[in-house]
Amino acid sequence: MIMKKIDISASINGIKLPLCIMNASGVLCSTDQDLSNLLNSSSGGIVTKSCTYKPREGNILPRYFEWNIGSINSMGLPNLGIDFYINFIEKKKINKPIFLSISGLSIEENYSLVQKANQYSKITAIELNLSCPNILEKEKMLGYDFYGISNFIENIFKFNKKPLGIKLPPYFHEAHIKNIALILNQFPIFFVTCINSLPNGLFIDINKESVVIRPKKGFGGIGGSIIKPFALANIHKFYTYLRKDIAIIGCGGISSGKDIFEHILCGASAVQIGTQFMKEGISVFERLKKELIFLLKKKNYSSLNSFKGKLKYLQ
Ligand code: SIN
């Protein structure tokens, strides 16, 4: 019997990933060591920690906590500054697509960061993070500011020439997703990544009758398995409303090959792993790859396109 070859490579609007699985920005992608580990791993691409212009220490510790089905964080964008990430990309032999994640503390800082990234051809694409929920100095998150986001993206595309995608927060109303999609559809955006963590969650240690992280009185972004239904819903609604050439990178609640299958069935072209990467370390990519191939074999699918976006509804 001839075994069919299973192709789990991905294309994000023409950006070719040898494997559809990569890390989510923020998790084990901040330092030279983290990024070198990712370069040497089987991940299909690399996303750097969201950077600001200058290095940042981030919020006070403890700022991350995980339990069996989720995680809470209020990291506050600890990062080594854009120059560090650019230098890393410039000096290393880059063997897969590399996405520079940017999250300026102000609109002006975002313009400067995108301008700077445009000067370096080894950066495959920019992932503009408009959804960090943990910045104490910033009241507004652009991803939830429907008026601000339109004006902002219009200005970015006056000078940006690089493939650029946007990391979005979760939305909870169809009308909000439709509104954002209609705005994004007006611009030459390459991809969206959805979703970032669910903002303003609270986890409690019942024995101590206390919160578990220190910044923001314990409130933080929720990730992990617990958020998968929200990720799937956002992916599928964006798949419905976005222009078909804008790829969706699914993120949220993936810890198995089955979870990846569900993200792709909802319309994702590739996926990112956050909390599970943090829990399991670099070997997660190889395990997920094996599980996804196993599942596709069982279902007799030879590539992601055989089922991407083909979620069925009940009659
Ligand atoms: C953080 O550094 O606070 C997390 C970044 C994010 O969730 O976008």
Nearest to 132 by CA among 176, 64, 198: 198
CA 76 to ligand 1: nearest atom: 3
pLDDT at position 139 is: 63
pLDDT at position 234 is: 98
**pLDDT per residue as tens digits for the range 198-249:** 999 999 999 999 999 999 999 999 999 999 999 999 999 999 999 999 999 9
**pLDDT per residue as tens digits for the range 159-198:** 999 999 999 999 999 999 999 999 999 999 999 999 999 9
Report DSSP letters for 129-165, one per residue: E------TT----GGG-HHHHHHHHHHHHHH--S-EE
Residues of the chain below pLDDT 70: 1-3, 137-139
Specify whether 132 is catalytic.
yes
Bridge partners for 191 per DSSP? 165, 247
Nearest protein Cα to ligand 1, atom 5: 132
Q: Is the peptide bond before 199 cis (omega within 30 degrees of 0)?
A: no
| Exposure string over 282-305, b if 16+ CB within 10 A, otherwise e | bebbebbbebbeebbeeeebeebe
Domains and CATH numbers, the chain: 10-61+76-203+225-306 (3.20.20.70)
* Tokens 């019942």 sit on residue: 206
pLDDT at position 138 is: 66
What are the helix (H) ranges across 132-283? 146-159, 174-184, 228-241, 257-266, 275-280
Q: Residues 103, 52: contact at Cβ < 8 Å?
A: yes
* 155: number of Cβ within 10 Å: 14
Q: Is 134 in the pocket of ligand 1 (CB under 6 A)?
A: yes
Q: Is 35 in the pocket of ligand 1 (CB under 6 A)?
A: no
Distance, CA of 293 to CA of 121 (rounded, Å): 33
- Show the tokens assigned to 192: 């969206």
Nearest protein Cα to ligand 1, atom 2: 77
Query: What's the longest Cα–Cα distance across the chain?
Result: 62
Give the phi and the psi of residue 64 in degrees, each rounded to 5.
-140, 140
Distance, CA of 293 to CA of 8 (rounded, Å): 7
pLDDT at position 3 is: 62
pLDDT at position 140 is: 79
pLDDT at position 214 is: 98
What are the helix (H) ranges across the chain? 32-39, 82-91, 107-117, 146-159, 174-184, 228-241, 257-266, 275-280, 284-299
Q: Where is 222: in which H helix or E strand?
A: strand 219-223
Distance, CA of 208 to CA of 202 (rounded, Å): 14
- Show the tokens assigned to 168: 């979005």
Q: Is the peptide bond before 195 cis (omega within 30 degrees of 0)?
A: yes
Q: Residues 126, 163: contact at Cβ < 8 Å?
A: yes
How many Å lie between the centroid of ligand 1 and the Cα of residue 206? 26
pLDDT at position 4 is: 73
Nearest to 83 by CA among 42, 119, 46, 108: 119
CA 196 to ligand 1: nearest atom: 7
